[in-house]
Structures are given as C-alpha cells and as structure tokens.
Amino acid sequence: MYVITGGAGFIGSNIAWGLENKGLGPLVIVDRNGGEKWRNLEKREISATIEPENLFAFLDDNADAVTAVIHMGAISATTETDAGLIKRNNFDLSCQIWNWCAANRVRLIYASSAATYGDGSKGFDDDPSTNALRKLQPLNLYGRSKHLFDRKILRNLGDANSQPPQWAGLKFFNVYGPHEVHKDRMSSVVSQVYPRARAGDAAVLFKSHHPDYADGGQLRDFIWVGDCVDIVLWLLDNPTVNGLFNCGTGKARSFADLASAVYRALGREPMITFVDTPLDIRDKYQYFTEAKMERLRRAGYDKPMTELEDGVAQYVNGYLDTSDPYR
C-alpha cells in the first residue's frame, strides 16, 4: 500500500499515475475532498481516500500493509501569510508523519522545496550538513516551513530506529506538467501562457526589477513533472538510498525561453509583453535558481533530465492542447 498525502494535487496525482503505471498499489489518497483538483485522479484505481484529520487513525489501522508514505501535502502558496496555518500544515504534520514512519518501520519520501534556498546567494547545493543548512535564508513562509523541517530531521538523525528505514526529501525546483490547473496563480508559466498562445495573443511575463536581469531574462530551473515522478519511482526501487536531494535539471533557463517554447509547440512565433511584478511578491522573488544535481547522481540516479523544449512540447501537445488534459 502506498499512501500519498496531497495525492489529488499537482505532483501527488502525477506520482499516483506513475505508481499505477508501474503496477504498484494499492493507492491511498490523503487530501481534502471536493474541488477541481480531484479530476486529477479520475483515471486512477484508488483504494481509499482519507481526509487529513483521519490520516493517523487510518495509518494505525493499516500499519502492516503500508509500504511507503509519499508526503506531498502542504500549503504551497508562496504568498500565504498565515504563519500558524503554514506551521501546522507544513511542519507539525510532517514531523508527525516522520515519527509514525520511524516507529512503524515504513519508508518515507517527502517534498521539500527549492524555496528553501531563498535568493540563491548561498548557492543551490543540497548539502545536508548543519552548517550548510544554517546559512540558507528562505524568502517566504512556505520556504521557511520546508527548511525548518529539513533542518529538524537532519539535526536529529540518530540511531536507525529514530528514522524511517528509508527516507528522502526532494527539493523540487520549478515543476511544470499536467494536473496543475487548480493551482491558478501558482500554476506554472506554461499553464498560464498556453491559453494566450492558443488564442494568438501575447504572453504576459513579469518585468525584471533587478539590474542584472532583462525583462523575461529571470532564470529558473524548470523541471518536467515526469522527471520528478521518475526520481520518486527510482527511490522506491532503491530502498538503501537516503538523504536530502535537489530535484531539478541542473540547467537554468529564462522565462522568455519557457514562454517561447509554448508558442513553438503550437507552431507559432513567440509574442511576449511584460508587466510589473506584483508588489506582494516583488521583494521575495527568486531571479535565479539552478539545482546542483551531483548528490542525486552520486546516489545512482542516471536517467537524463528532459530538455525544456521537449517537456513543454509534451505538456502542450499531449495535454493542454487536447480535449482531455488529464493522465
């Protein structure tokens, strides 16, 4: 049995697809019922759906059957300002899941985030040492909550019985792919540019408010969600691999590149206009991210990452520009 928290969400529902596609199950989804995101699971064979408040009662009743908990559930909006809400959902719950998995000898894969790196001035090295983690300064509450949990578990690793038999934290960079429509403003630029490109209108990107970056020249490490799924499946195939790992491509690309790829996937010439970055995120904006991927490679993951143009073409032509955008 594979228990996926946040399983109706973007990355979680893609992991559910990957597990089912590989013949793994049963699948148990932990998420709040209702809403557009549940369409992400319409094609899955789901064993059970659990409200988050009932998670631990379910786990206790089924402890002997659980192979792994894949913890993707979180408040992921980088604009959320309720610190107590984020702490309860992103930190406290993660600690409880870690403790349950350790006590019941169940494997755990959880979502960290590239938001833990802040403005990038301290680099993007997934060095798990206390000294390295202490230097990072996330820019928003979401990033801080993820960083707080990373630091807690790495600071308190002790004997084998105090941690799950396998654990891995994945620092997801800028993920794009199917099943993100429900994220609205927090969905990827690909998702937001596509309807304008299809209509023959210009894409709208944020201007740069940094002297070192041109408008549209802000750089991010954009990763196809299928690569994220492959990494999770590889970890499940390699139960002796533990640690905190970046989940990116290792190659920064510009937002202009990303938007242009959407137009070209549709056979059109790119058209891009620019607007001011909203004030509520302007001072907390990452102008550059690029994952260092050596740690994951040294652990044995050797599958090539999808090139940006190839991933965008898969997303646009295989999902967004079809009558059925769901896996």
Q: For residue range 243-276, what is the model confidence (pLDDT) as tens digits?
A: 999 999 999 999 999 999 999 999 999 999 999 9
| Confidence at residue 273, expressed as pLDDT on a 0 to 100 scale | 98
Residues with active-site annotation: 142, 183
Task: Kindly report the number of other CB atoms within 10 A of residue 137's CB atom.
Answer: 14
pLDDT score for 220: 96
Tens-place pLDDT, residues 193-225: 999 999 999 999 999 999 999 999 999 999 999
Residue 211 has what pLDDT?
93
Residue ranges for the chain with pLDDT beneath 70: none
pLDDT at res. 134: 94
Query: What is the spatial distance between Cα 187 and Cα 200, in angstroms, rounded to a whole number?
Result: 21
30 φ, ψ (degrees, to nearest 5): -110, 115
pTM over 0.75: yes
Degrees (nearest 5) of the Cα angle 137, 226, 87? 35
Helix and strand numbers, DSSP H then E, in the chain: 12, 13
DSSP string spanning 24-36? ---EEEES-S-SG
Fold for 2-175+222-249+292-305, please state it. Rossmann fold (3.40.50)
CATH 3.90.25.10 maps onto the chain at: 177-219+252-290+311-320
pLDDT of residue 77: 78
pLDDT for 80 = 83
Coil, helix or strand for 160? helix
Domain with CATH 3.40.50.720 in the chain: 2-175+222-249+292-305
Q: What pLDDT is stored for residue 285 in this prediction?
A: 83
Overall CATH class of domain 177-219+252-290+311-320: alpha beta
